[in-house]
Structure 1
Amino acid sequence: MMTERQQRVCIWGGITFAPLFFVGFWLLAGFIPPPAPGMSAEAVARMFAEHRGRIRAGLWVATAAAPFLAFFVAALTHQIRRIAGSDSPLATAQLIAGSCLILEFIFPQLVWQTAAYRAERSPETVQMLNDLAWLPYVGVVGTAMVQMAIIAIVVFSDRRPQPLLPRWSAYLNIWTALGVAPGSFVVFVHGGPVAWNGILAWWLLCVSFFIWMVTMTWLMLRASRRAERSATDVSAVAAASGQAVPSEASR
């Protein structure tokens, strides 16, 4: 059984992803804002050639950051099981979707690493690899949307007088799911608001995902502290009455 200390380690471990990712992807690789999808093959190849060292270093950091999301996904799964039960299929579905999300960060970043690996590649090959990375990186949003939808469903189903997660967090998950949805349209355009560097497909997606991660981190930490206080109170009462302390599953 996951203790509250382990739970908080997972929560903080998960949010560690965010600063590491931005250092690697933004400050080092320089991929924020993203290069325009309408760039010519020569311009894309020149970008990778001129910034080869920083791109490789930045993507190395961003790729190293991605596994920290596993802690975040584990913490979310634990909270869902607390609400819906340890055998909840929704908890398992969220765990699987979250695991896919981690790979959706890692594999496109390795494709960019491949584009920067050999300086002698033809411009057309570099452009193809760049497309092969950006399109799924921004365009595969279904897994995150599934996670958010599951959390919303579970929160709405919590009928206890004092729910583990507040009801407004369900609406937040719905809105953030809608916020990342425009990314799915990147495969159709080379410019505009739903291109991979567009205001909807990229900027709204990034803001929505960041708000979701930060808010869920805070809510899970609060839920963990509350559960710890409740367990302490139960233990104190049980000790005073000489009864056995009930497990979390039985409460």
Structure 2
Amino acid sequence: SDEEKVTEPGPIEFSKLVDPATAKNSNEIQLRSDAVEENDYTFIPYELYKDLVQTYGQNGPEIIRKVIPQGEYQAVIETFLVPLRLRESRSSDAKVKQIYRSRRTKIEELKKDICNEFHITGNSNYSLYASMDEKGLNWKLMDERLNLTIDDIILTRNAFITYESGVVIAHNASSSSSPRINYTLGSSSRRHFTPGLCSLANLGNTCFMNSALQCLSNVPALTEYFLSDEYKVHINRNNALGMKG
């Protein structure tokens, strides 16, 4: 019988799997949203992949995915990176940049990435803030020393996060399978305040209120929030029980 002819598989084809919007940045390559595992692609160990590329070659930018911890005893392959949108201001028509990051990216690393994206340099003291509600009324400082990651915020907050000034990073709201989330990069260097303590006089039967206000007035982020008039966008002028703000 004739010897059976063996056809080589050809180069590894990446070009048809890559989301075109992410093809230019090797660190942010994203799969097409309609790509199906075991139908359009399969995962193989990196060492095997390198051998195959050396033998058959490749088309398009390579797609590499890492194994990340999930829970205490499990690990999963992170197929899709988290899409984040960066805006230069809170204005809806502000310039927008989109980046993709691993869910295990630490907040400290994310802040550095944001500064690099918008060429933020100098001695400015930038901090990330998160809001506990979708209206963005209650703010909490995301302490980098806690080693929080994007995954931690999504799982524990499941909230809408925005900021007063600087750069806004928003989770891609078009993804219905993921919680909607924004991040805030606020700057405490926009205004310069005279060092010293701030106090209020006792105005009669208001000592408890004075104590609370005195504490709040010594929070730089909150002071900046009011002095920069950012609070005005949160005033509810249509509340029937209020006094038009």
Which has a greater percent of strand?
Answer: 2
Q: State the structure with bigger RCO (CA 8 A, min sep 6), 1 or 2.
A: 1
Query: TM-score, normalization: structure 2?
Result: 0.25
Which has a greater percent of helix?
Answer: 1
Query: TM-score, normalization: structure 1?
Result: 0.24
Bigger radius of gyration among the two: 2
